[in-house]
Amino acid sequence: MDEPILDCLIVGGGPAGLTAAIYLARFHLDIMVVDGGKSRAAWIPCTRNLSGFPDGIKGAELLQRMRDQACKYGAKIETEFVTKLEHDAKEGLFTATWGSGCASARTVLLATGVTNRRPPMDETLHDEALARGLVRYCPICDGYEVTDKRVGVIGSDSHGVAEALFIRSFTADVTLIAPDKALNLNADDQAKLKGAGIGCVDGPAQAVAISNECIVVDTAEGHYAFDSIYPALGSDTHTQLAEMAGANLSPEGCIAVDRHMRTNVQGLYSAGDVVIGLDQISHAMGQGGVAATTIRNDLCAEQPRWREPVQEMEQAGSGS
């Protein structure tokens, strides 16, 4: 491998990884982002809770702006999926491998995110419903948009109950629907739902169609039409590379980090949804900024990165 050793390889080009890329490139470090192109932010039809965007912004546009900003300062971005991450503790180097190549780096930031589990429904229907706000995944993000609307929550356990109760403060019309079989809730959860006036419907349930700007859900108890449904089926956290490199996971199955975003493996850092947190753009960006500054400081503690003095001739040229 003749390529120079990178100061930092960032795996994941969502809000966390791209924020870190902007910081690190502006710290004059040699970095690369390798991104599988499946950022959750790309699914957002219009985010309205991100500060600084009073009229909202499409998730895909936000990502493009962040990529442009990172590239402007010298970051390289590859669209690839990293399949292997090896750590040579003796040399203090990481090697990452993907389909068409590989790279070595002194540090690695894993910003690999999570994937929401989808409800059983046709994929094309799902994507159209998501784009139209008929399927939503994040009541913290967009509960405001369902204010006083009819909302179905597809979930069964205490996670589904918690999501339904959260949404109840946006609308009085909330129904909890079991995804696969009859709802089987403990007495405490049943009492909470009853107290909040949340309806319960047995599954199996399947969103089957869009009709009159509503999403129609077929259940064991018949058809229901909602202005929006929220699947509350959990998510899968992308921790595989962290585990390959020897990083510990938290009890919740996320990559475990300290408050500076360091994992237990020296030189390996993590930020964003893959670390336990709010699963929000602002939080992912914040963690990306913290991680980048820690990486910079750790690299400089190993070996100072002093700038060379500007040559006299260059100085004369730029001064005229």
Ligand X SMILES: Cc1cc2nc3c(=O)[nH]c(=O)nc-3n(C[C@H](O)[C@H](O)[C@H](O)COP(=O)(O)OP(=O)(O)OC[C@H]3O[C@@H](n4cnc5c(N)ncnc54)[C@H](O)[C@@H]3O)c2cc1C
The residue ranges that bind ligand X (CB under 6 A) are 11-17, 34-41, 43-44, 47, 49-50, 81-82, 111-113, 116, 130, 137-138, 141-142, 238, 241, 272-273, 279-282, 284
Q: Least CB distance from residue 40 to ligand X, whole Å?
A: 4
Q: Least CB distance from residue 126 to ligand X, whole Å?
A: 11
Q: Least CB distance from residue 281 to ligand X, whole Å?
A: 3
Please identify, using beta-carbon distances, which residue of 134 and 164 lies nearer to ligand X: 134
Please identify, using beta-carbon distances, which residue of 142 and 227 lies nearer to ligand X: 142
Q: Least CB distance from residue 287 to ligand X, whole Å?
A: 8
Please identify, using beta-carbon distances, which residue of 87 and 192 lies nearer to ligand X: 87
Please identify, using beta-carbon distances, which residue of 175 and 287 lies nearer to ligand X: 287
Please identify, using beta-carbon distances, which residue of 18 and 185 lies nearer to ligand X: 18
Q: Least CB distance from residue 124 to ligand X, whole Å?
A: 16
Q: Least CB distance from residue 173 to ligand X, whole Å?
A: 21
Phi, psi of 42 (to 5 degrees): -65, -20
- 213 backbone φψ class: left, alpha, beta (φ>0; ψ -120 to 50): left
Please identify, using beta-carbon distances, which residue of 196 and 249 lies nearer to ligand X: 249
